[in-house]
Amino acid sequence: MGFEGVSEVTFESMRCELVTWGAFHSRCRRLVTKIRQSGFTPDLIVGIGRGGCPPARVVADFLGIMDLASFKIEHYRGAKPDVDAVIKYPLAASIEGRDVLLVDDVTDSGDTFDVAFAHLTERGTPRKIKSAVLDHKVISRYAPDYFGRKVIKWRWIIYPWAVIEDLSGFVRAMNLDVADEATIKQRLADEHGLRVSDAMLADVLSSMGMNDGESWDQTL
């Protein structure tokens, strides 16, 4: 696989960061502080699904914004990107004459925002539109108006709402014949820098139809 601006990165050796719910909430607070300090007051918040929906909802709560909408772009399946970012479910709301805050979880290549802004032009002409993300990776060719944190050293960021999906992909890539939890935890640590709890790993294996010491169907 390849990522724009990232060289010699493979799925099997991808370094990762696991974000907790507490860290997510703190990042939202920093993001909202920057939005308030800028003087921008949106009257509509639009989350880019799926990853942008959780932060969009929390940001809306902090700002007291009741109008919240979303649309879905498909680009990544777990940590593996599809070839193109495409609109799966379009935005139902009109943005005509609105002050819009467009929210996603992270800027990586910038493709998502290219597709998102192109899609929004089909939903009207806003009075003003700003973009916000939890994490802005500096390799991205698109820089959002607001971000909770700047990420200098690239890594794959696993948010708490995508733990099962992302970790399942890493476990499947190990091509193990038997679900040995100790081996899986060690490889996650060695290959991806991930320290996962027993409970978290148990949830991942259960979602995959795996049990410790048993084989599983890797076509799941």
Q: Give the H/E segment covering residue 158.
A: strand 156-158
Residue 179 has what pLDDT? 82
Q: Tell me how far CA of residue 139 lies from CA of 104, 136, 153, in angstroms.
A: 16, 9, 9
- pLDDT at position 85 is 78
Per-residue pLDDT reduced to its tens digit, 164-210: 999 999 999 998 888 899 999 999 999 999 999 999 999 999 999 87
Q: What is the pLDDT of residue 216?
A: 47
132-142 per-position pLDDT tens digit: 999 999 999 99
Q: Look up the CATH number of domain 20-152.
A: 3.40.50.2020
Sequence spans of domains, the chain: 20-152
Rounded mean pLDDT, 38-45? 98
Q: What number is the average pLDDT over the span 86-108?
A: 96
pLDDT for the residue 177: 84
pLDDT of 10: 59
Q: What is the mean pLDDT of residues 20-29?
A: 98
pLDDT at 9 over 90: no
Q: Nearest CA to 73 among 109, 36, 39?
A: 109
Give 92-155 as a DSSP string.
Answer: -S--TT-EEEEEEEEESSSHHHHHHHHHHGGG---SEEEEEEEEEETT-S---SEEEEEE-S--
Q: Which residue has the tokens 């820098």?
A: 193
Rounded Cα gap, residues 209 and 217, in angstroms: 8
**pTM listed for this prediction:** 0.87
Give the mean pLDDT of the chain: 89
Assigned token pair, 191: 């290959």
The residue that leads in pLDDT, 165 or 83, is 165
* Of 4-13, 44-53, 59-68, minimum mean pLDDT range: 4-13
Report the pLDDT value the prediction gives residue 109, as an integer from 0 to 100. Answer: 87
